Amino acid sequence: MSLQFKLSDKSTRFTESVIRGMTQLCLRHNAINLSQGTPAYQPPDVVKAAAVKAIQEGYNQYSITWGAPEFREAIAHKMTTFNCIPTDAAKNVTVTCGSTEGMLSALLAIINPGDEVIIFEPFYENYGPDTIISGAKPVYVALQETQTADGVMRFTYDTSELQNAFSANTKAIIVNTPNNPLGKVFTQDELQQIADLCCEHDCIAVTDEIYEHMIYDDKAHISIGSLSQMRDRTVTVSGLSKTYSMTGWRLGYVVAPEVLTDAIRKMHDFLTVGAPHPLQRAGVVALNLPPSYYQELVDKYNKNRKRLVNTLREAGFRCHPPEAAYYIMTDISDFGFSDDTAFANWLVKEIGVGGVPGSSFYSRPHLGKTKFRFMFSMADDVLVEAGERLMKIKSKI
């Protein structure tokens, strides 16, 4: 006799990650997987050695639930100097199991039933489930490709659409800069406008800045929490996964005003107790790497960015070089497929390359039907091989 359990309503309101599904498909067909955003690189040796040393020296039990003191100090220093947000390690920092848990703990700490959260779309796929789990009502604002006065194509929002998204029920707006999947860097003007709306409607900006160190062409990363009127109403979420190529270490953090931090720490404690203690010790070494580390990181990614943009254009995709992160959002209209999912399946099976159907980044899937995302955190030889395969598209359609 099979047991029949009624699952929670929440668990039935979102599906498994589309990106993980694409990864499985790539494995089945031996395709090059340019869908999942896992770094191709390794953490620096000195950081790995610090983790081994911490384990050998006995840092193998829980740390303080909201983070080992020396790791919080290193985060506070980085936030104060790099992000220009004055941060007190004792009052403002919560170390979490990746920024993924940081975002959820933050939302659980501030959301009440009926609260609305504004989300720009296309969005990082976790934000949808995050709002369902925390009980927020998502309100979406589209980021659309627009030509600027100097002829450059950029993704931005329509100001009146953003203004209209705010209501008496708005509790927070999620700002992901640099953005996944678009590689967009929010400008000072955009952040100022969002800040003004947050103040006018008395709501909180929850920002995800995990790609803050991967920005190209001399663009600058600005944290909305550094704008003076946002000090008391910003929750900044970030982590070490991408900058130090350590997605498996699960080190993230949330920086927020003291009153919000108290609530976030409670959520975090009962969700996960704490991030891995010995890895937090090694995280201190990572956060103290010299400026040359960050320059080399950007140079490495920039080389990949240029290579893949050129390859994709030659293969028939329409795309612009992203401003940041390691994703390229392309337009696939010229290939004549009925939709992006059909294209995704065909590309894996016939060409041997995987990417992500654009519609999976939208609450309104039709907005992404002609879009397709590739990632470029890959070893040189893999990108070359992917390029050779993609060049066969034209002859096969």
Other beta carbons less than 10 A from residue 352's beta carbon: 18
**Nearest approach, Cβ of 32 to ligand PLP (angstroms)?**
18
CB atoms inside a 10 Å sphere around CB 42: 11
Pick the piece of the chain touching ligand PLP (CB under 6 A) from 9-17, 46-54, 93-101, 368-376: 93-101
Q: Considering beta carbons, is residue 43 or 98 the nearer one to ligand PLP?
A: 98
Does residue 23 bind ligand PLP (CB under 6 A)? no
Residue 98 within binding range of ligand PLP, rule CB under 6 A: yes
Task: Tell me the number of residues near ligand PLP by CB under 6 A.
Answer: 13
For ligand PLP, give the closer residue by CB, 208 or 323: 208
99 binds ligand PLP (CB under 6 A): yes
Q: Minimum distance between the CB of residue 38 and ligand PLP, rounded to whole angstroms?
A: 8
Nearer to ligand PLP, 242 or 393 (CB): 242
Residue 357 CB, nearest approach to ligand PLP (Å): 16
Complex with ligand PLP: residue 128 or 252, whichever CB lies closer = 252
Q: Is 120 in the site for ligand PLP (CB under 6 A)?
A: no
Does 210 contact ligand PLP by CB under 6 A? yes
Smallest gap from residue 279 Cβ to ligand PLP (A): 12
Nearer to ligand PLP by Cβ, of 98 and 128: the residue is 98
165: left (phi over 0), alpha (psi -120 to 50) or beta: alpha
List the interface residues with ligand PLP, window 27-56 (CB under 6 A).
37
Residues 6 or more apart whose CB falls under 8 angstroms from that of 224 comprise 175, 177, 186, 191, 194, 195, 205, 207, 230, 234, 236
Residue type, 354: G
State the DSSP string of 257-295: -HHHHHHHHHHHHHHHS-S-HHHHHHHHHHHT--HHHHH
Sign of CA dihedral 170, 171, 176, 180: negative
- Tell me the three state secondary structure of residue 196: helix
Helix, strand, or coil (residue 133): helix
Q: What is the smallest separation between the CB atom of 251 and ligand PLP, expressed in angstroms?
A: 7
Nearest residue to 113 (alpha-carbon basis) of 189, 171, 159, 27:
171
Cβ atoms of 396 and 337 closer than 8 Å: no
- Contact code string over 222-261 relative to ligand PLP, x by CB under 6 A: -----------------x-x-----x----x---------
Contact footprint for ligand PLP (CB under 6 A): 37, 98-100, 124, 176, 180, 208, 210, 239, 241, 247, 252
